[in-house]
Structure 1
């Protein structure tokens, strides 16, 4: 039998109650609440367990980003073009500045687009250019005939339609033809540089930004100023296009290189000269109202 003074002998819980009665100020520790109190304190302080740390919206964004490239959306749907209008304002500003001030040796696609073309900037550049051409053409025509008593000003709204047809056809059909040509040549000659259709459209759209201030200068009725602005705009816009598409054709046959780059430059020149010739043509002289009567009518000879 074990001794009563054996320290390893099992003690009854009643002895613990007697000890608490003897010293009521003693501190007790509850093992069950050891894990509960820290949780309550974390919740009270605004902390959540490790499993709840992740925001459900953030996890949804991660899942969407991971599953985004795997989705294939048809190009005739609205969702396909929606991502081309999701762009920050400072990116559009950088691309406009890069198209207006091209730097030699820098490719516009590689430096500014970074495989992320947009349609927001090209759409508004083309739209602004359409209204700038139409409005400037009407104002120029009004200023030329200002002060002539026999001239009655009539706004020509058809200029908006004609300008829109010319600008948007140039900004869409020319890139489409160039994309098809580069794709055909790339199949024949394995080229290291290739551009998508949206990248080519983006480059052409931003290359038209320099024409907006040039068209505004065409309001001033001085032919030398108009032609100087045309030369500057054509050189800047054409240099952006040539430097961008030069890497895509430099490995091709020399005759093909000359033909493609010449076509790019000539179409750019034709757009500028055509807009100037049609919307800002030299006005015809207006004859006085009674001039035809004075010159066309002669006095009948007297019968007597």
Structure 2
């Protein structure tokens, strides 16, 4: 029986003969023997050794790609990816919407081309319920100040707030996306955000109004207007800084009109919510001076005699 060294020598000899037949091919020799004691010789793309492994890997990759095909938009799996975010990502995007900075695009730095619908959906839902609840609490507090005011729960405000907030968060981005898409055909150098990215930007921009609405419960007019103006400035600034990299390649007139309309619609939303859900309270009833100090009771004076009789 041949020894192991003789078998290894014959294997090297076969490899040498194979290399002599194909001198232009590159080879690699493994330092360790295979489990069967053979030497592994890998050929280049021109040979048959090693190419079979690459073909098998490519076949596996193609099979995996076929299995992971993108589902249709009418299926639940299509929208599942837009809700695939964790708490830390949502918090980072909320912080980015609260702290807008010039030259800092919310889409590029916060979304990173991965928009989600989880954050915008719950932000709009929370804002709608907070508006309805605080609007009812305002009437309840007004009744305590003035008993003549009759308070009854106004459940229709939940519907009004939900329809208003969700229509604004979807229809305005749709109109903005359509306009930017049309302007991209006019100005080829203009960029363009996707529709979901635009919806995501508007949804996160509404978060700042949630604590602001809670502050509107404080019956101090100057505090209400100051908090509302600050929230509007932060939210509108975030929209302008995000849209500016897209519209700066357009003409100055078109860019100025577009950004002005965006800020104006945002201001109309804030003002509409302020005047509808937080109606001005009636002034406290003040007692009139006549009612505060009633006249003294009349005193009966004794009748006086004529002077002639007295004399």
Q: What TM-score, normalized to structure 2?
A: 0.69
Q: Following TM superposition, by how much is the alpha carbon of 1:78 offset from its aligned partner in structure 2, in angstroms?
A: 2.2
Matches for 1:1-304 after TM superposition, within 5 Å: 66=65, 71-284=69-282
State the shift of 1:80 in Å: 1.8
CA contact (8 A) 1:123 1:205 kept: yes
Q: Which runs of 5+ in 1 are unaligned?
A: 1-34, 37-59, 288-304
Deviation at 1:142? 1.0
- In structure 1, the residue matched to 2:306 is none
**CA RMSD, 1 decimal:** 2.4
Q: 1:146 is paired with a residue of what secondary structure?
A: helix
**Residue 294 of structure 2 corresponds to which residue in structure 1?**
none
What's the CA shift for 1:195?
0.3
Deviation at 1:62, TM superposition (A): 11
Residues 89, 152 of structure 1: alpha-carbon distance in 2 compared, 3 angstrom cutoff: same
Q: What TM-score results when the alignment is normalised by the length of structure 1? A: 0.70
- Shift, 1:61, TM fit: 11
Aligned 8 A contact 2:83 2:116 in 1: yes
- Give 1:257 shift: 0.6
Deviations 1:182-212 (A, max 9, x none): 0010111113521000000000000000000
Gap regions ≥5 residues in structure 2: 1-34, 37-59, 286-311
Partners in 2 of 1:265 and 1:201 — Cα distance?
16
Contact 2:84 / 2:116 at 8 angstroms: preserved in 1? Answer: yes
Task: Decide whether the 8 Å contact of 1:144 with 1:221 is kept in 2.
Answer: no
Helix, strand or coil at the partner of 2:144: coil
TM-aligned CA distance change 1:140 to 1:63, over 3 Å: farther
Structure 1 pair 224–103 and aligned structure 2 pair: CA distance change class (3 A): same
Residue 147 of structure 1 deviates from its aligned partner by 4.4
After TM superposition, give the deviation of residue 150 of structure 1 in Å.
3.3
1:4-39 deviation digits (Å, cap 9, x = unpaired): xxxxxxxxxxxxxxxxxxxxxxxxxxxxxxx79xxx
CA distance in 2, matches of 1:61, 1:199: 31
- Give me the whole-angstrom Cα distance separating, in 1, the residues matched to 2:256 and 2:89: 33
